[in-house]
Chains A and B, each alone.
Chain A
């Protein structure tokens, strides 16, 4: 084994160290491929040490089988190290060292697949949403879960929490999953006291949410500054949750609701419709669409669209 265990007595993760020692030969062989793929020993040692406290906390709290989880965690971490995805600031590392031990409830029925799910979801969400907010909601919702939580429960819960944390393109799936979640879990995942009622209203008016504020919101932006567009967008159509937008380089769908917004290229299926009629008297407005209690406005002089609920003035 790659010199993982510190001197006896000051081991911050005795369960982890013991589990690795017990199965050292097999784990060593499992690590051969990640090492051959470029995981050097110092990085590997550092990475394996970093997950020790999380392992100990989860094994003790959820009564996990240490001999089953230790090789899986070691391989998972080694793979991430080989892929250069386990730097100290990496969201994947935080998913294992921070999010995993923060989960509440009874995770004794989960399998090591959970490790892959957590790191993959955190990495995906990192690009489009708020990972710390997702982690807080996952912790709260698992804590509120009645009985054992399975891998599948966690995956479904993760989708709802990810939507709430800003991954707006999961809206439809999250809405469907929400119906099957226990009430207290749903409330905790969405951060409101009567989530079902709020969801009913949000379904009709996507920008509405009990604690909703911060309007108007700006969507998109100039590509040179990290946005999606090279020319100012013009809004064509929309249904309150999905809006059709055109720029000189092509057509786009803007997905937006109370939790976030995303701009998706339409690829080879062009948007139908002409630019929506600009409101009379509004100088520089190239399009305004009202739908589902929301208003989306495009301006000749801006690479950003302006989105707000109808009751809020832009």
Chain B
């Protein structure tokens, strides 16, 4: 880091920002060997050319430095269990407090850090003074920029913000002298090339400028006066006081959809007021005292991103995500043709899917989680879910994505991507009313429900459709005609069995369509076999 220090600091001040020497998450992956060495006694290898800790350890050190020193966020709402956790119930509402048995985290710090890892797009929402901008600034400092650079680069949304203000202006001389647009040089704003980008109060940006922002955010380039500037991949942090339409301008849907994760600011715990007072009295700005040891160089950031992408996601975990997502889009009376029985069909017809759902009295609304939403998941949402699950696993030092990683990030990824149907009968149940307001818990509860259904159906051990898909994935090369016919019969048998069930639920709908896909592929292959003799 070239900056980010108190002026006049010398080498001794590197010790100011204390970062734990002890492993931040000792566990099977981080178990020291039986024999220890010099480093284990002294905690570091001072005096030698230090390689630094593994990147996941460095990330956790950064996380704990932020929560201990920079952002007063004594919350552990992203809970992990390592054995049974004690639970306590309070008050008339029987509010449950869990003491997680595993290392747990504050979503408000964790989600921005995961965004830093995957170079995603994070929206931080919450009232004024909750530290949204300060958190975003810290992410920039973690990327090696000075607080001064980050402050200068931060884009502040306001109703007069124009495309030129945001991205750059054409050179006046060129505007006068140029014969063609392509001859006009644009003085691009410096922030466009940075690895961390912050847009403060993005819902105060005029709609036209939002559209221009969309191409940068989504596709990594910006166009002005026929000039194109490639910004490269970066981590984006957007802030908004209110993301429910309370900004100066309505946020365009496409921009909203490009946001990978939304993290609501948690309220200040007043028992920590003394820490706040002390900080104010000292006048210290945490972003100016970020320890160098938790700053990521550009190469480390690249390496981190690649390492996260390399984390495998095992089939059983993916299967549960499929099962969950499969329940959401299906709308039995949304169309006539089987493929069109979706919420999308109803929405495109200008009809609220909720109204169509109300006419569907056959299925048990309490079991069918699809009735709780008015839309399904987009492919982009699923990609975000997978990326953030991988980041979560990597952050915890785990070798592959587990169900707990997916469960931890799911509510924040889907918070504004999955619209709730607040009139669903599920919310009229006792103790479910609060889920209408607490969307994080709602999404987590919904995912837990589908996991229980998945377990009840024994799909980990008995998944005939999955078996057929796996068999097809092995390839058709050299498959004889009689084998293809046998597979076609099996598919038809499976569809026969499924159609014999009285009710059609979302996951069955996806299965049926997958079987139709296989049937069609085998049919085409059979036709080719016959043609080729």
Contact = CB atoms under 8 A, between A and B. Distances in A.
Contacts of B44: 120
Contacts of B278: 35-36, 38, 40
Contacts of B43: 120, 124
B279 to A, nearest CB: 6
B477 interface: no
Contact of A170 (B8, B21, B41, B47): B41
Interface in A1-60: 26, 29-30, 32-38, 40
A136 interface: no
Contact of B282 (A35, A76, A79, A159): A35
Interface in A67-97: 71-72, 75-76, 79, 82-83
A118 B69 CA distance: 25
Contacts of B10: 26
A173 B69 CA distance: 36
Contact of B6 (A29, A75, A158): A29
Nearest to B68: A37
Contact of B47 (A32, A113, A265): A113
A141 to B, nearest CB: 15
A314 B15 CA distance: 51
Contacts of A172: 35, 37
B18 interface: yes
A168 B353 CA distance: 68
B282 A32 contact: yes
A169 B41 CA distance: 10
B16 interface: yes
A156 interface: yes
A113 B46 contact: yes
B435 to A, nearest CB: 38
Contacts of A187: none
A63 to B, nearest CB: 20
A117 B12 contact: no
Contacts of A113: 46-47
A155 B16 contact: no
Contacts of A197: none
Interface string A144-164: 000000011001101100100
B31 interface: yes
A169 B16 CA distance: 31
B38 interface: yes
Contact of A268 (B12, B28, B69): B28
B289 interface: yes
Most chain A beta-carbon contacts within 10 A, residue among B6, B12, B40, B278? B12
A170 B46 contact: no
B73 to A, nearest CB: 15
B259 to A, nearest CB: 33
Contacts of A37: 18, 68-69
B476 interface: no
Contacts of A72: 12, 15
B17 interface: yes
B275 interface: yes
B470 interface: no
B386 to A, nearest CB: 26
Contact of B12 (A32, A71, A152, A242): A71
Contacts of B21: 120
Contacts of B18: 37, 79, 82-83
Contacts of A121: 41-42
A265 B26 CA distance: 12
Interface string A109-126: 000110011001100110
Interface string B18-57: 1001000000100100111110111110110000000000
A41 to B, nearest CB: 11
B41 A167 contact: yes
Interface string B179-215: 0000000000000000000000000000000000000
A171 interface: yes
B284 interface: yes
A267 interface: yes
B13 interface: yes
A225 to B, nearest CB: 21
B12 A169 contact: no
Contacts of A139: none
Contacts of B283: 32
Given A76-B15, A151-B46, A162 B8 contact: no
A255 B36 CA distance: 11
B47 A151 contact: yes
A236 to B, nearest CB: 15
A167 B43 CA distance: 15
A102 interface: no
A116 B16 contact: no
A264 interface: yes
B278 to A, nearest CB: 7
B41 A75 contact: no
A167 B480 CA distance: 68
The 4 A-B residue pairs with the shortest CB-CB distance, nearest first, are: A36-B284, A36-B282, A33-B16, A267-B31
Given A120-B41, A151-B47, 14 more contacts: A30-B12, A32-B284, A33-B17, A72-B15, A76-B15, A113-B47, A120-B21, A121-B41, A155-B47, A156-B38, A170-B35, A170-B40, A173-B36, A267-B31
9 contacts: A33-B17, A79-B15, A120-B44, A124-B41, A169-B34, A169-B36, A255-B35, A264-B34, A267-B31
